[in-house]
Chains A and B, each alone.
Chain A
Amino acid sequence: MENNNNEHWSRTRKLMFTTLGIWFVFSYVVHWFGNALNNIYFLGFPLGFYMAAQGSLFIFVVLIFWMVNRQNKIDEEFGVHEMHETESNKEN
């Protein structure tokens, strides 16, 4: 039980670091180079402007849905997910 929980937490932590790594790139790295990216065009936009106005936002939304999904899988794999969740999810 103890080992199982430790392993679960180390996988959870790894997922957290991966998520925050992607988050860091699209929160800071991309915008640090905003001026350089503005010389590239994407869908008719200067890319630097596009990333700050839409691109990063879109990636954040997808990133959270992805991360939530992965975490649910990890919880189920280690058998620490909640019981009765079919019941509590039925309103969705």
Chain B
Amino acid sequence: MFKGNFIDNIAKVYGLYTGGFLLFIALMAILEQAGVSAEAIGIMFVAFTIAIYAIIGFLSRTMEVDAYYVAGRQVPALYNGMATAADWMSGASFVAMAGGIYFGGYGYLAFVVGWTGGYVLVASLLAPYLRKFGCYTVPDFVGVRYGGNITRFCAVVVLVFASFTYVTAQINATGTIASRALQIPFEVGVWFGLLGILLCSMLGGMRAVTWTQVAQYIVLIIAYVVPVVWMSNKQGFGIIPHFGYGDAVMRVAELEVMHQVGILNPTESVAGLKSLTTLHAFAGDDWLSKWKFVTLVLCMMLGTASLPHILMRYFTTPSVREARQSVAWSLLFIFLLYFTAPALATLTKLQVLDPSLPTGLIGKAIADVQMLDWVQKWSNVGFLKVIDSNGDGLLQINEFFMRGDIVVLATPEIAGLPYVISGLVAAGGMAAAMSTADGLLLAIANALSHDLYYKIIDPQADTKKRLIVARVLLIAIGAFSAFIASLKLTSILGAVAWAFNFANSGLFFPLVLGVWWKRANKQGAIAGIAGGFLSGVLYLMYVRFWGGEPILGLDHLRFGIVGMTASLILMVTVSLATEEPDEETQRMVDEIRIPRGKTVLGQ
């Protein structure tokens, strides 16, 4: 059945895998009917999928530098697209995005637009050129294009800051899901999650991460789309809800008037929970809300095009042409989840708000609402709270508090789907968080082992030593982030948006101008990376910790606007004020602009 190597049989292998996973779901459904407990099914879902990833990770083990850092540069465009999509879509996208839209309405859609449109920049400005360059890491490009260890070191610092902010949130998410599915304490769940992540990446580096990420994408997309489609069918919103939920959007708008959303504000506050106060489809008619929307889109897009764990995925394709093609596939696979999230948020909101539906809550008697199974279950774990603030015995919009995560996690129960679907969702969330954490940990460990250790500290190190250092760093960084995550400092470190702002402040213009502006030189790059990053960080401190008023509405989610502006201005003025790059560098830039020929670094 399998002739030749793995790459030749890749479609068969993942086809079988997908079929096997669907069979597994069916088997779990049968076991549920046969009376196996919900807890046991949850445990089997999480354990089975993690075991598969660990096996893939083990089979992909390697002691070759090329395989460890760039998967041997033989990942076909389509599969690299899937791996990138899994790398990209984090626990936050999977669990929190639909909830964010539920509470934030139109304003939150800035994230949806920003986290997709950034790929246009990746495809047109960066991916093919970095692939032709032939580097192992993003700081590798900066270090060689501009020359000198200082530029390389600056890029490493920005990379570590951005990726580390992001990875603790992911490990936190794996801990949350593992603790709920396996019924273990959160602190243990975090270390269990880390173990799973390391099993995927430690032995095989990028090669292992690539092939597990493809497997994780398949699990996470099935787990996200199946419940939504099922719920939509069950409740009469059509087979594919994505195109037909316009009526639901309109109906929500009517119900918002009826329930006085945005007029009836909560009179009490519950830590960590929110009640609905924002209109679903209202785009805001004042200058500030429009400005806040577009600046958030801008920060997320330019951050997308600067995050090293994404850019390094395009180093793994066999050719420049496939690197470019692969960006298109990536966005298609990401799009499948991102255009489902607003549909999910709208349908869930309709069910909660509409008193004429059997699931409707608002306007019903509080005693009846508290009797509902799923309301009780999620109240018990502190995700939901019903308070009769005005004492009239009826549930008003400002008396219903919940956490955004419920929108995805509780959908199967709200809609009365079998428990097997909840198990599937847990496996999907785990896949999303693990795959992103893997990519991020590897980006950090590779930058430290390749750029800091090999290129700066010990250029004489042999292959074996380099790969051992890479693995030790991977474990150490993973353990450190799991430790931070177990402290539950999520209010400080959990802001995923910060990672995008750190990355775009320090890296966007130095990377793009490195390809598109020959005149950009070393002094300019140092000024652009260090100056941009520091301005961004200082502004963040100012708005977030020193009690400063946001200037022009630029709050802590948008500090990249300040950082990027500083970065661009500094980089251009300093480059122009100093001598132009030498002939060799200019030839190198010419070389990366055409696909044909050997890579610049030849590695």
Chain A interface (Cβ within 8 Å of chain B)? 5, 8-9, 12-13, 15-16, 19-20, 23, 26-28, 31-32, 34-35, 37-38, 41-46, 48-50, 52-54, 56-58, 60-61, 63-65, 67-68, 71-72, 75, 79-83, 85, 88-89, 91-92
Contact = CB atoms under 8 A, between A and B. Distances in A.
A68 B324 contact: yes
A88 B318 contact: yes
A80 to B, nearest CB: 4
A44 to B, nearest CB: 3
Given A32-B294, A35-B290, A71-B324, 5 more contacts: A5-B594, A20-B124, A57-B117, A64-B331, A91-B8
Tell which of B106, B113, B282, B342 has the most Cβ of chain A within 10 Å. B113
B61 to A, nearest CB: 22
Contact of A9 (B106, B321, B593): B593
11 contacts: A35-B284, A43-B246, A44-B246, A44-B249, A46-B253, A48-B283, A49-B280, A57-B113, A61-B335, A64-B120, A82-B319
Contacts of A88: 318-319, 321-322
Interface residues of B, number: 63
A63 B335 CA distance: 13
Interface string B271-298: 0000000001111110000100110011
Contact of A53 (B76, B112, B128): B112
Contacts of A48: 106, 281, 283
Nearest to A27: B117
B335 A46 contact: no
A85 B249 contact: no
Contacts of B249: 44-46, 49
Nearest to B333: A61
Interface string B77-110: 1100000000000000000000000000010011
A61 B284 CA distance: 27
Interface in B521-570: none
Tell which of A52, A83, A89 has the most Cβ of chain B within 10 Å. A52
Contact of A57 (B77, B318, B339, B596): B339
B588 interface: no
A15 to B, nearest CB: 8
Per CB-CB distance, the 7 closest pairs between chain A and chain B, nearest first, are A44-B246, A34-B283, A45-B246, A52-B109, A53-B342, A91-B76, A49-B281
B526 to A, nearest CB: 26
B153 interface: no
Interface string B107-143: 0011011001101110111001000000000000000
Nearest to B242: A54
B449 to A, nearest CB: 28
Tell which of A38, A53, A58, A88 has the most Cβ of chain B within 10 Å. A53
A63 B120 contact: yes
B23 interface: no
B129 to A, nearest CB: 10
B29 interface: no
Given A16-B124, A34-B284, A91-B10, A61 B318 contact: no
Contacts of B284: 34-35
B328 A81 contact: no
B109 A91 contact: no
Contacts of A83: 596
A85 B297 contact: no
A9 to B, nearest CB: 5
A56 B594 CA distance: 30
A49 B106 contact: yes
B124 A19 contact: yes
Interface string B313-342: 000001111101101100110010011001
A81 B132 CA distance: 12
A92 to B, nearest CB: 6
B341 to A, nearest CB: 8
Contact of A89 (B243, B283, B293, B322): B322
B301 interface: yes
B244 interface: yes
B64 interface: no
Contacts of A72: 321, 324
A85 B109 contact: no
Given A27-B113, A52-B109, A34 B328 contact: no
A33 B116 CA distance: 20
Contacts of A49: 106, 109, 249, 280-281, 283
A13 B321 CA distance: 17
B297 A31 contact: yes
B4 to A, nearest CB: 11
Contacts of A61: 116, 328, 331-332, 335
B359 to A, nearest CB: 22
A23 B339 contact: no
B247 interface: yes
Contacts of A56: 113, 116-117
B123 A64 contact: yes
Contact of B113 (A43, A52, A80): A52
A45 B328 CA distance: 27
Contact of B78 (A20, A71, A82, A92): A92
Nearest to A20: B124
Given A52-B112, A53-B339, A67-B123, A91 B281 contact: no
A68 to B, nearest CB: 5
A91 B290 contact: no
Interface string B220-255: 000000000000000000000011111101100100
B266 interface: no
A68 B327 contact: yes
